[in-house]
Amino acid sequence: MPVVTAVAIKRLASGHDLPLPSYQTEHAAGMDLCAAVEADVVLAPGAHAIIPTGFSIALPPGFEAQVRPRSGLAAKNAVTVLNAPGTIDADYRGEVGVILINHGKQAFTVTRGLRIAQMVVAPVRAIMWEEKAELDDTSRGAGGFGSTGVHKA
């Protein structure tokens, strides 16, 4: 049985008739987020918009919420979350919004109640920098982008 943490959520007037974020299957990692738009939002190819969700949350310290794309929207319509994953910090109390972008070749319409993204709540650790004159060496070293190749050795 997974550990369950209670998180405060406030339904806003714009989300009065929408479901709260919820898991769609027993072992889902993300909860689906619905669009709380009052009127349809048409995203032209290449366009983006912040889509409201109709709720705000109060995450406990040590947690973040990540807003991620829904694979079906991305695969079928080339619509995704622009800043994926978007981060909601534990001290943010405003409405959760989703920055959607249309990478497709046709306009995409966001309608009220459309499941537009998913949200994963995860623990985070605070760190403290410890400045060093040198770092320990690894087999990779300073090899950066693409340094490990793309094919199996």
* pTM of the shown model: 0.89
pLDDT score for 150: 73
Mean pLDDT value across residues 126-151: 86
pLDDT score for 1: 60
In order of 131, 132, 141, 142, the CA distances from 135 in angstroms are: 9, 7, 10, 11
Do the strands 95-102 and 115-123 form a parallel or antiparallel pair, or are they unpaired? unpaired
pLDDT score for 151: 76
Q: Kindly report the backbone phi and psi dihedral angles of residue 98, in degrees, each rounded to the nearest multiple of 5, phi listed first.
A: -120, 125
pLDDT score for 141: 83
Q: What architecture is the 30-122 domain classified under in CATH?
A: Distorted Sandwich (2.70)
Task: Parse the chain into domains and list their residue ranges.
Answer: 30-122
Q: Is the pLDDT of residue 38 over 90?
A: yes
Sign of the dihedral defined by the CA atoms of residues 110, 111, 114, 117, in that order: positive
